[in-house]
């Protein structure tokens, strides 16, 4: 197994591993995920069943909240298609589904149809971003609690879900009310501190005035945008990315329109951040 870093802060490409062989070095792959925060397999070419089976090695595959509301009782793949008629919903830095009490542990993203040009995904190391803050700022942020909600997500659902949109929005508000998370979380396995930033899911910081909360969130937003904390993956069909949701942010680069881009994503259940 070869592990080749793709950038200074995070990300590594893994080669020499057949993920479809049940005897592959899972411990080695998992350690690479913890060490590099996002790992890439060029042309893994997994079927949906293989994708799911691989996900099960990492934990319990998630039933996505929208699918759960629609009656799903089995883990669900989310297929995200962006093209001339659909806006890219992931075109800003975020961590997935932080508006639940127990956001995902990690995610496995498989490229179904890569655009010929553009459509990269970027990841940001939330641990490197934390480490780069001054010590007084680290201490200040470490004492703060943030409120996350799903209004920004519901906005996207309303655009895509057609007739079902109203009842889905109602169900999402009922089943997933706003939730509090520490602004700085501790990774349960590595012990590293990470900024739990989630873009539009993060509404305000408890105990601060509105002006203070807005300024602090803007400071974090500017900070995580610095390229020194990032890596970027240029997709080809069948590529697989696995990232640790507890130590990274990610975003799409919506620069492939009007070409189509189709991905298949599986989330793995996580624990309550602390």
In degrees rounded to 5, what are phi and psi of residue 21?
-85, 115
Q: How many residues bind Fe ion (CB under 5 A)?
A: 2
Helix axis angle, 151-160 to 165-175, nearest 10°: 160
Beta carbon of residue 89, minimum distance to Fe ion (angstroms, whole number): 8
Strands (E), the chain: 2-5, 12-15, 38-41, 78-82, 106-113, 121-125, 145-148, 179-182, 184-186, 193-195, 202-205, 230-233, 240-244, 248-252, 261-268
Question: Which one of 13, 37, 96, 239 is in contact with Fe ion (CB under 5 A)?
Answer: 96
Q: Indicate the residue among 213 and 248 with the shorter CB distance to Fe ion.
A: 248
Beta carbon of residue 264, minimum distance to Fe ion (angstroms, whole number): 13
How far apart (Å, rounded) are the C-alpha atoms in residues 185 and 54?
A: 27
Q: Are residues 77 and 265 in contact, defined by beta-carbon separation less than 8 angstroms?
A: yes
Beta carbon of residue 94, minimum distance to Fe ion (angstroms, whole number): 6
Please choose, out of 64-72, 96-104, 179-187, 205-213, the segment that lies near Fe ion by the rule CB under 5 A.
Answer: 96-104
245 binds Fe ion (CB under 5 A): no
Residues 184-243 that bind Fe ion (CB under 5 A): none
Catalytic annotation on 255? no
Catalytic annotation on 148? no
Beta carbon of residue 96, minimum distance to Fe ion (angstroms, whole number): 4
Q: Are residues 247 and 194 in contact, defined by beta-carbon separation less than 8 angstroms?
A: yes
Catalytic annotation on 94? yes
Catalytic annotation on 265? yes
Q: Which residues here bind Fe ion, judged by CB under 5 A?
A: 90, 96
Q: Which residues are catalytic?
A: 94, 96, 250, 265
């Amino acid at each position: 197994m070869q592990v080749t870093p793709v950038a200074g802060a995070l990300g590594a490409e893994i080669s020499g591993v057949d993920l479809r062989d049940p005897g592959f070095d899972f411990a080695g792959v998992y350690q690479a995920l913890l060490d590099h925060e996002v790992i890439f397999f060029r042309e893994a070419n997994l079927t949906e069943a293989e994708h799911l089976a691989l996900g099960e090695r990492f934990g319990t595959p998630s039933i996505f909240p929208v699918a759960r509301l629609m009656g799903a009782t089995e883990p669900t793949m989310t297929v995200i298609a962006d093209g001339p008629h659909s806006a890219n919903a992931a075109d800003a830095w975020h961590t997935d589904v932080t508006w639940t009490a127990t956001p995902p542990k990690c995610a496995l993203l498989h490229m179904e149809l890569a655009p010929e040009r553009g459509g990269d995904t970027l990841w940001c190391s939330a641990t490197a971003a934390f480490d780069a803050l001054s010590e007084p700022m680290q201490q200040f942020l470490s004492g703060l609690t943030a409120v996350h909600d799903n209004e920004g997500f519901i906005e996207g659902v309303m655009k895509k879900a057609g007739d079902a949109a109203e009842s889905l929005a109602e169900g999402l508000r009922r089943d997933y009310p706003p939730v509090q998370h520490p602004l700085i979380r501790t990774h349960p396995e590595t012990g590293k501190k990470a900024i739990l930033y989630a873009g539009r899911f993060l509404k305000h910081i408890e105990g601060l005035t509105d002006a203070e909360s807005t300024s602090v969130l803007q400071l974090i937003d500017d900070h995580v945008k610095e390229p020194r904390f990032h890596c970027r993956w240029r997709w080809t069909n069948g590529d697989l990315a696995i990232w640790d949701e507890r130590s990274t942010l990610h975003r799409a680069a919506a620069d492939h329109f009007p070409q189509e881009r189709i991905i298949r994503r599986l989330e793995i259940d996580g624990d309550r951040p602390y």
